[in-house]
Structure 1
Amino acid sequence: MFDDSWLDDRQGWRGAEPVLRRLAEAGARLRRETEDALDPIRGLGDLPRPRAVIAAGSEARFIRAILEPVCPVPFVAWPAHGLPGWVGALDLVVVMASDAAPASLIASVHEAVRRGAQLVIAAPRPSLIAEHAMSSSTVLLPTATADPLAAAIVMLSALHEMQLGPEVRPDLVADAMDLVAEDCSPYADVSLNPAKDIALGLADAQPLVWGGSVLAARASRRVAEALRAATGRPALAADADALSPVLELTAPRDPFADPFEDGGGADRRPGLLVLEDGNGAELIRAARTRLTSAAERNDVRVCVIEHAHGSDVERYATLLQTGMFAAVYLAVGLGRYADLEN
């Protein structure tokens, strides 16, 4: 069972301190990666415009979500081994990788070099994948913090320099991350901490996570992954058409049910977590109304993470980081970090 007293008790969340510290340091990591990549990024403005852009590696789909609406050339996020057959010397391949890059991604980098494609790679300088990437057509954006999101934001800055994407202000994104870390600090009381509040809302629930815009939907999938990993519970991120039937078929709550007997396992009720990034499109508003109305009719609790100002990347980072903090606090309340203290 969920013990909410652990959320404001140092003894309760002490085992989670390394994870909470890494979340809190996200802004600092982004600043470091941005600083290290300044010089190679400055040289990208003189490169010719590519025929197409192919993104591979971690956060490739996040890059696609930002670039697709504005990129002046075709853009592909390529998750498979190797590269599309048409990729050649006229194309740009962008890769985000760690020093533990899988063999399939190393093979993709090797293939880009073999075909003579322009390659921009964010990776640690002393790494196997960086060694395979070296060529006269390669630009390395050195990374050092093993933070995929920071590397992706640095890559977005590089693509903007090449006039292929929107302007990204990593300093403002880092400031937004710092604000989340302050608001969601373990030292912030549960009554003022949005992440702890969400953990309370999902304490006995099977989470259903929804984001209406492309970026909010991407964040919802990442948050659902974090909830599954942190709690061991199923957590589903999907569009409104997939989540609506689950909410509609949920029986109203029994006020006489004993939570100690009826609140666990397969009988756990859903809880809806909405990620709201301020996208006011009519279809998105209608989908949110449909979901929340179905939840209200069937007494399903609705939790909201909302951030409606700043750039697309700032809003995405805020939604994502808040959801990540919430996943940790949910695990804390469930006692999943208790064994780490001993």
Structure 2
Amino acid sequence: MAPFLDEHRIDSEESIAALDSRGALRSLATAGAQVREALTLSQDAGIERVAGGERPRSVLVASLGGSAVVCDVLELLAEPGSPVPVSTRRNVPLPGWVGPLDLVIAVSQSGRAAGPLALAAEAARRGASLLTVGAPESPLADVCARARGVHINVGSGHDGSRTHLWSMLAPVMLAAGHLGLADVTSEVLDAVADRLDERAEACRPGSESFVNPAKVLAADLAEGVPVILGDGPLNGVAAVRAASMLARTARVPATSGELPDAASQIVACFDGPFTTAYGDLVARLAGSHGPDQEGDDVSVHSSGRSGGVAAGEPDIFADPYLDPPAGPRLTLLMLRDAVPDPLTPEAGESEAMTEAVVASAREAGVRVAEVTAEPGHPLVRLAGQIATTDFAATYLALGLGLDPAISPRVADLSERTGHQ
């Protein structure tokens, strides 16, 4: 049975205030301000001194949890033209090839995450250059200071890495630009901040459910089991972030993938038990062994009734007291990039693949929601996609009656294991 999203909860600022104990929506709305603050803090810290101002032999990025997407974004933007290899690491051990000619970037908002902290300490022991991003006066900041690296503070009042992504991501992107690893400048980050402000305005709590893109998306995602698919590398990163936010913030399990590689495994699910097409098939097979042996042409659907209900449509003849509740259905969230003008052959192939997957989903009775990026620099386009899905995951949590910032089960796990 699909969860029930109460739209009153996400349209009422009083209900939001009662549920959102740590102001997750308010924090997401400050994303543009986070970028601008990060630019100032980065300049104050002397970001131009990273790796001694010279291009390193290689770069390794360490981040996990709410800041894990920092690794994915740097890999995405560096891959097309970086003159040096860029790799990522979530936890120890530090690869054996890291040495004095390399740069290690460690990111942890609290400055206490065990993985990035241990990697930074080992990198410092080997004489590698260090760039760290995290809380001031933290163990991570101390490791960086002793190694004479560059530490960038995340600013004050940041109480959650999921809602303060850009305070960690912006300094790393600026450093990548300084080192020539990616085409990112302070002007690009200014444009990112503007795009994040635009998304925050469109997705603000006072905007009604029927016009707020994040609330509309939250309602769509509440209808079933989310499958999030990006139409290429950029939206593949956004898809991973969206799946993480849905699980951690809205407590809704989600899977993610990227076209074209994930097309087959995702489309295969459209034949499975979470689609109405499968229900129709089961009902037809059951009917073929039933009492009707005359070969009558009877169309039987998942409710077991005859009629002309199309795949994906609710059965208006279903009796809520006699018929069992409908099972959960797949919801495909397709994240699409802006179409270039003029259209390139590669973009044309991507569009054709995306349209084929969407058509297959609809034919199988899968609910389809789409979020399309607006034109701009790749980081600007990605910022808009992440902002929309971040807001949607938070509204989904609130609509389900959950505090987006506090999970009792996660708190219990921390107590059991001692991990924060």
Fold conserved between structures, TM > 0.5: yes
1:83 aligns with one of 94, 110, 128:
94
2:48 aligns with one of 18, 37, 42:
42
1:245-304 per-residue CA deviation (whole Å, 9 max, x = no partner) reads: 11243223352446797556xx20111111112266344323312220111112222111
> Structure 2 counterpart of 1:27, which letter?
G
Aligned residue number for residue 224 of structure 1: 243
Q: Is 1:329 the equivalent of 2:389?
A: no
Aligned residue number for residue 3 of structure 1: 6
Q: What SS does structure 2 have at the residue aligned with 1:82? A: coil
Q: Is 1:310 the equivalent of 2:333?
A: no
- The offset of 1:76, in angstroms, is 0.9
Q: Is 1:207 the equivalent of 2:226?
A: yes
Distance between the aligned counterparts of 2:403 and 2:320, measured in 1?
23
Aligned residue number for residue 19 of structure 1: 24
Distance between the aligned counterparts of 2:354 and 2:7, measured in 1?
29
Distance between the aligned counterparts of 2:33 and 2:101, measured in 1?
36
Aligned residue number for residue 139 of structure 1: 150
Structure with greater proportional helix content: 1
Unmatched runs of 5 consecutive residues or more in structure 2: 278-310, 341-346, 407-420
Percent identical: 30
- The offset of 1:317, in angstroms, is 1.3
Distance between the aligned counterparts of 1:51 and 1:337, measured in 2?
45
CA contact (8 A) 1:172 1:314 kept: yes
Q: In the TM superposition, what are the counterparts of 1:286-305 in structure 2 within 5 Å?
A: 286-305=352-371
TM-score (structure 2 length as normaliser)? 0.74
Q: Is 1:112 the equivalent of 2:140?
A: no
Distance between the aligned counterparts of 1:153 and 1:60, measured in 2?
12
CA contact (8 A) 2:50 2:131 kept: no
Q: Return closer, same or farther for 1:231/1:284 CA change in 2, 3 Å cut-off.
A: same
Q: What SS does structure 2 have at the residue aligned with 1:228? A: helix
- The offset of 1:206, in angstroms, is 1.1
CA contact (8 A) 1:274 1:304 kept: yes
Q: Return closer, same or farther for 1:201/1:140 CA change in 2, 3 Å cut-off.
A: same
Q: In the TM superposition, what are the counterparts of 1:238-317 in structure 2 within 5 Å?
A: 238=257, 239-249=262-272, 250=275, 251=277, 252-253=311-312, 254-256=314-316, 257=318, 267-278=327-338, 281-317=347-383
- The offset of 1:244, in angstroms, is 0.8
Distance between the aligned counterparts of 1:305 and 1:189, measured in 2?
18
1:162-203 per-residue CA deviation (whole Å, 9 max, x = no partner) reads: 222212422211111111110001101222210111122223
Q: What SS does structure 2 have at the residue aligned with 1:233? A: coil
- The offset of 1:15, in angstroms, is 2.9
Q: Return closer, same or farther for 1:228/1:103 CA change in 2, 3 Å cut-off.
A: closer
- The offset of 1:3, in angstroms, is 2.5
1:60-88 per-residue CA deviation (whole Å, 9 max, x = no partner) reads: 22211121222111111122303110111
Report the more deviating stretch, 111-120 or 281-290.
Answer: 281-290
Q: In the TM superposition, what are the counterparts of 1:90-129 in structure 2 within 5 Å?
A: 90-129=101-140
Aligned residue number for residue 36 of structure 2: 31
Q: In the TM superposition, what are the counterparts of 1:169-208 in structure 2 within 5 Å?
A: 169-208=188-227
Residue-pair matches, total: 337
TM-score (structure 1 length as normaliser)? 0.90
Q: What SS does structure 2 have at the residue aligned with 1:134? A: helix
> Structure 2 counterpart of 1:270, which letter?
L
1:199-220 per-residue CA deviation (whole Å, 9 max, x = no partner) reads: 2222321111111221211111
Q: Return closer, same or farther for 1:258/1:31 CA change in 2, 3 Å cut-off.
A: farther
Unmatched runs of 5 consecutive residues or more in structure 1: none
2:166 aligns with one of 131, 149, 154:
149
CA contact (8 A) 1:101 1:129 kept: yes
- The offset of 1:229, in angstroms, is 2.9
Cα RMSD after superposing both structures: 2.4
CA contact (8 A) 2:111 2:135 kept: no
Q: What SS does structure 1 have at the residue aligned with 2:131? A: strand
- The offset of 1:115, in angstroms, is 1.0
- The offset of 1:100, in angstroms, is 4.4
Q: What SS does structure 1 have at the residue aligned with 2:181? A: coil
> Structure 2 counterpart of 1:33, which letter?
A
Distance between the aligned counterparts of 2:134 and 2:398, measured in 1?
33
1:88-138 per-residue CA deviation (whole Å, 9 max, x = no partner) reads: 111111121222432232221111111111111122231011112224551
